[in-house]
Amino acid sequence: MKIMQSVEQLREVLAGQTSIGFVPTMGFLHEGHASLLKQARQDNDIVVLSIFVNPTQFGPNEDLDRYPRDEQRDQRLAQAAGVDYLFYPTNDVMYPLDMARVTVRSGDDVLCGASRPGHFDGVLTVVSKLFNIVQPTRAYFGLKDAQQLALIEGYVADYFVPVEIKRCPIIREVDGLAKSSRNVYLSEAEREQAPGIQQALQEAKQALDAGTPLETVLAQTRASLHFEGTTIDYVEAVAYPTLGPVNPTTKTILLAVAVQFKSARLIDNLLYTRGA
């Protein structure tokens, strides 16, 4: 595995490659990232991983400064996952002039977009830069960040970006908690409560299967998510992947949850296909 910081260097080694699988991350890698890399390894000749904690997707009061980092561990995991090139750019490399940004036009007024203004502009900006640098054949994203994934798919379609976006399943701890770099922020007591999010989503699925109306299911889910010391940021349902309102013809519903613990905001979701 080669580690690179410069765009020119990376472009030089990637020139002429037939298939490039790309996994963009912010580091502090876990089994969720490992599963994306595994899929990328299976599908492509070359696997590129990027690690860049992107400042433009963090709000002023968010966790940019304390976002967890562990370069040595990340490198070991990347090496074990069969990564060929690890791209580790600095802010100056990624934002040389910072004269241009990508703006989301629709789909960021709900869920995380509603509580994190500008977040998805930052995500699409950095993803667009990374796509232009790596020019991957396929790029891999986890469904845990389902809104992010839908907006990236929308961006790729609207801008005719020649990349295939691969949706990858959520990877969970044995007790059901979705793997996230931010899980390290949880206190012991919070860590015990956190699997309740997945339990609430499973109950929601059962209720939908049983024909319970969506609004009732959402109300039940909100009620069951009251843990001590937490606030619910949202429990919402939107059509997927348009992120618009659910209507009688909506086939796939994204039921998404964000819970604010004392020092970590956790998200999770369920993709529910009607009549499946």
- Region binding ligand PAF by CB under 6 A among candidate stretches 81-89, 91-99, 119-127, 171-179: 119-127
Question: What's the rounded Cα separation, in Å, for the pair 24 and 245?
Answer: 29
Question: What's the rounded Cα separation, in Å, for the pair 123 and 149?
Answer: 10
Question: What's the rounded Cα separation, in Å, for the pair 165 and 177?
Answer: 25
| Of the residues 22, 25, 94, 136, which one makes contact with ligand PAF according to CB under 6 A | 25
CB of 215 to ligand PAF, least distance (A): 30
Q: Which is nearer to ligand PAF, 163 or 207 (CB)?
A: 163
List the interface residues with ligand PAF, window 132-171 (CB under 6 A): 145, 148
Q: Which is nearer to ligand PAF, 140 or 261 (CB)?
A: 140
Active site residue 33: yes
Distances from the Cα of 96 to the Cα of 93, 120, 161, angstroms: 6, 20, 22
Q: 42 near 34, Cβ under 8 Å?
A: no
Q: Which is nearer to ligand PAF, 24 or 196 (CB)?
A: 24
Q: Which is nearer to ligand PAF, 58 or 240 (CB)?
A: 58
CB of 2 to ligand PAF, least distance (A): 20
| Of the residues 35, 39, 44, 54, which one makes contact with ligand PAF according to CB under 6 A | 54
CB of 99 to ligand PAF, least distance (A): 20
Exposed/middle/buried for 252, CB within 10 Å: 0-12, 13-18, 19+? Answer: middle
User: What length is written for the chain?
Assistant: 276
How many other CB atoms are found less than 10 A from the CB of residue 211? 6
CB of 141 to ligand PAF, least distance (A): 7
| Of the residues 48, 112, 127, 266, which one makes contact with ligand PAF according to CB under 6 A | 127
Question: What's the rounded Cα separation, in Å, for the pair 16 and 1?
Answer: 18
| Of the residues 24, 32, 107, 113, which one makes contact with ligand PAF according to CB under 6 A | 24
Exposed/middle/buried for 34, CB within 10 Å: 0-12, 13-18, 19+? Answer: middle
CB of 54 to ligand PAF, least distance (A): 4
Question: What's the rounded Cα separation, in Å, for the pair 254 and 237?
Answer: 5
Say whether residue 26 binds ligand PAF (CB under 6 A): yes
Q: Which of 30, 33, 119, 226 is catalytic?
A: 33
For 213-250, letters b (16+ CB in 10 Å) and e give ebeebbebbeebbebeebeebbbbbbbbbebeebeeeb
**Footprint of ligand PAF on this chain (CB under 6 A)?**
24-26, 54, 57, 123, 126-127, 145, 148
Active site residues: 33
